[in-house]
Amino acid sequence: DVNSEALQVFFGWCSVINIGFIILASVSMMLMRDFATSLHGKMFGLPDSTLHEQYFQYLANYKIAILIFNIVPYLALVIMH
């Protein structure tokens, strides 16, 4: 049986892990932008400007998903407890 404390711990660790992933992805994009752009440009035939927009959109969507699916449920459980 899952209780609210277990869910709170679960969502807390999900938040930590996902925040770590978004930090890693952001740092990777900053440090390896040229490599990623050339690789993805060759793979998908997209111009650099489109890829830069897509990278930004990916990071923005991932951040919103972390907020909605990890941090908000965690905070709701903290408030309830």
- For 11-59, write each residue's pLDDT tens digit: 999 999 999 999 999 999 999 999 999 999 999 999 999 999 999 999 9
Q: What angle do CA 49, 29, 45 make, to 5 degrees?
A: 40
The model carries a pTM of 0.86
Residue in the structure block whose two tokens are 């699916």: 69
In single-letter form, the type of residue at position 79 comes to: I
Which DSSP helix (H) or strand (E) runs through 2? none
